[in-house]
Amino acid sequence: MRRQIKAWLKAGIQDGDKLFPSTEGTPQGGVISPLLANIALHGLEKHLKNWIRGKTLRYPCGTVMRKSRRQQTLGIIRYADDFVIIHKDIEILNEATEITKTWLSKLGLELKTEKTRVCHSLNKHGKEKPGFDFLGFNIRQYKTGKHHANKTTQGDIKPYTLHIKPSKEKYLEHYREIAQIIERYKAAPQKALIYKLNPIIRGWSNYYKYSVCSEIFSKIDHLIFWKLKKWADHRHPNKSWKFKKPKYWKTIGGDNWVFSDGKKNRLIKHKKNYDETKKKTRKKGRKNQGETFKKVQDVRSTYDGDTVYWSSRLGFHPNMPTSIAKMLKWQEGKCPHCGLSFKHEDIMEIDHIIPRQAGGGNSYKNLQLLHRHCHDEKTWDDLKLIAEYQNRKELEKQHNKSIKWFNELFSQEKWKWINDTPVLISTCDKSHVSEEPYEVKISRTVLKTSRRGDSLA
């Protein structure tokens, strides 16, 4: 393998008919650096797992752990040349560090002391602060009260909670990048500034949306607002705020502070983009899969040919129909009828949750993916549902015929339907009572004057 990699690096670059020889190796952080790191560090996880299996570990009660359980106590996460080793025992962690150094020395590599830390995720360890940064995220545990504590699978109380959030260094770097763009675009129109900032904000917020990011997103949006306010003040130094606010900020969807030109162009907010993503996830899926991330299994590769696994993760695959790939992701790779996960060799079929013969539609909301044998069992159960639906439609048809017959037989002015029953309406209105002329009454409330002008009636 070393010989093959050396040949690649010395092969040079050919552009058309010209050959440009390689006189030096690839630079640090170059395009091919992640590939070389993956080739060099492949096997590190397996080596550490085999080492921990051979150690004698005990439970708090004194019972010796099984080998499979020992292997689960050591966590290894690697991305290119960055990796993290996690264990609850500091002594085992120190041993793992020495074993890693020995393993790397055989490849001519070594750990960089400036970037190597041994820390605790909850408490301060020596001079090291609790928690660590990895791939732009800050991973740390925080103490909680007894009323907010989580529980283990055994029911034990955990007086701490885990927070994975954007690291301070990364979100300040992101804000500085946006601030520099706003400074450069002082004389540019508002539309050009929006077009420049939107892809940066959307990409950054989508990367960190799987973490505890709501508070940090709101903070960045607040800082950007004041930067944009200075941008507006620079463009109109002699104008009042009453002029600038309606000119550059509009009210859209209940938000009174949307940086927009009044047309379709508006600046995306980190918090707003995060909330809209969660709403879309809820609408598309049958449950909110939102904002949680599942680690890729260590034995998986995009080239292993397992279309079911990668469709369940991504929601699309070039070798899988789009509709099936979407349903695999919504169902988290499981059959809703039997609850078992789909395998690569399983035969899958699309089923209507409510049969079309029973009034069901053909939209995604009424579709699900089942095993073939599960589909056969559900179809047998659906026959009863279809029979009930047809009987109900037949009763409705007879009811409509009866209504039509009554409409033809009676006039609508004389009767009306009340609780599916025809009720005759009386022609006399008892609510209006008219008095008869007072001459006919025996007793009068008012005395009648005489024709002769007498005061007596």
**Pairwise CA distance, residues 219 & 296, whole Å:** 31
Residue 55: closest CA among 89, 101, 105: 89
CA distances from 267 to 209, 229, 277, 281, 448 (A): 18, 14, 16, 22, 86
Has this prediction a pTM greater than 0.75?
no
Determine the pLDDT at residue 432.
Answer: 45
- Confidence (pLDDT) at 409: 67
* pLDDT tens, residue by residue, 384-442: 889 998 898 888 888 888 877 777 766 555 666 677 676 766 655 544 444 444 444 44
- Identify the residue with better confidence: 284 or 325: 325
Q: What is the mean pLDDT of residues 309-313?
A: 89
Stronger pLDDT, 449 or 174, i.e. the higher one: 174
- pLDDT score recorded for residue 158: 81
Identify the pLDDT of residue 328.
92
The rounded distance, in Å, linking the Cα atoms of 132 and 139 is 6
pLDDT digits (tens, 9 = 90+) for 192-223: 999 999 999 999 998 998 888 889 999 999 99
Query: How far apart, in Å, are the Cα atoms of 92 and each of 24, 27, 70, 82, 98?
Result: 40, 35, 12, 20, 10
Which of 144-158, 181-195, 441-455 is the most confident on average? Answer: 181-195
- Mean pLDDT throughout 172-201? 94
- The per-residue pLDDT for 285 is 41
Lowest-confidence range among 5-14, 347-356, 385-394? 5-14
Q: What local confidence, expressed as pLDDT, does residue 113 receive?
A: 85
* pLDDT score of 299 more than 60: yes
C-alpha span between 393 and 390 (Å, rounded): 5
pLDDT of residue 349: 93
Q: In the prediction, which pLDDT does 424 show?
A: 66
pLDDT band at 34 (very low <50, low <70, confident <90, very high): confident
Can you tell me the mean pLDDT for 168-190? Answer: 94
**So what's the pLDDT on residue 340?**
92
Coil vs helix vs strand at 18: strand
Residue 76 DSSP symbol: E
Q: Between residues 102 and 290, which one has the greater pLDDT?
A: 102
The tokens of 325 are what?
């790939």
- Split at pLDDT 50, 70, 90, the class of 165 is very high
Secondary structure letter of residue 375 according to DSSP: H
Indicate whether 29 pLDDT > 80: no
State how far Cα 260 lies from the chain centre. 26
Neighbouring C-beta atoms of residue 260, cutoff 10 Å: 18
**From residue 437, how far is each of 20, 321, 351, 440, 445 by CA, in Å?**
121, 88, 78, 6, 12
Predicted confidence at residue 252, as pLDDT, reads: 86
Average pLDDT taken over every residue of the chain: 83
Q: What is the pLDDT of residue 435?
A: 43
Q: Binning pLDDT at 50, 70 and 90, where does residue 131 land? A: very high
Q: What is the pLDDT of residues 368-387, one digit of tens each?
A: 999 999 999 999 989 988 99
